[in-house]
Amino acid sequence: MNWSFQLYSARNFKPWSDVLKLVSRLGYKEVEGFGGVYDDPKAFRADMDRNGLAMPSGHFSIDALEGDFDGVLRIADTLGVTLIVCPYLMPDKRPADTAGWKAFGERLAAVGDKAKKEGFGFAWHNHDFEFKALPDGSLPQKLILDAAPSVGLELDVAWVVRGGADPATWIADYADRILAVHVKDIAPAGQNANEDGWADVGHGTVPWKSLMADLRAKTPAKVYIMEHDNPSDIERFAKRSIEAVNSY
């Protein structure tokens, strides 16, 4: 398994050249990009190459995907990204009803069609807000996926849990749509407040051993990305997480 590392986890520990050296030394073979590393794609690609790292997946905002798709493709091509992921919808842009979420799913489907024509995979990345029921009881996450049947899912398991849902159920129901996985953990209640309640993978409450077996058996996902939204020590997080998943 070539484990990946979401570079957003290390945004407070730059320079990026040091981050790439660190994750390579610890055994990661891949990284996942986000907006903070796209300023000079050629230079970043050269730095990845020096450290034996690939970037099979990358996050791009809905604004970039809809407003500058050609620019997204240039960045993706330069960095070697083959799976383009839309990662988030700002709070002030989130629909308030079923029709709005279906319409957003249709927007993602349109972007996904363009990506597919250019030879790229395309996926939506969840947080917790998609699992908060609307007044009519429907879930935004289901509305998005059902309105965009050709769009994949980058499943962020820990955000599913924080959203109050059972990841095993979503894996079972949408297994064939899961193209990538964010491997993230949640600290026991009251712990790691300085890290927003997140934990190093394998050192929290998410049952990663059984979920990993489930994901490997049922989904086509090939990219598994370690992430921690606010680590206080990037080397500790990166090291303990890859050690944990290597034991599963």
Give 108: exposed, middle or buried? Use CB within 10 Å, 0-12, 13-18, 19+.
Answer: buried
The confidence band for 65, taking pLDDT boundaries of 50, 70 and 90, is very high
* DSSP-assigned letters across all residues of 225-247: EE--SS-S-HHHHHHHHHHHHTT
* Per-residue pLDDT at 166: 97
* Per-residue pLDDT at 106: 98
Chain-wide mean pLDDT for the chain?
97
Q: Report pLDDT digits (tens) over 204-224.
A: 999 999 999 999 999 999 999
206 close to 227: Cβ distance less than 8 angstroms: no
Domains of the chain, by residue range, sit at 4-245
How far is 181 from 1, CA to CA, in rounded Å? 13
Residue 1: pLDDT over 90: no
The pTM of the full predicted model, rounded to 2 decimals, is 0.97
**What is 4-245's CATH number?**
3.20.20.150
Hey, what are 74's tokens?
A: 């240039």
Q: What percentage of the chain reaches a pLDDT higher than 70? A: 100
Closest by alpha carbon to 211, among 164, 165, 159, 248?
A: 248
Residue 195: pLDDT over 90: yes
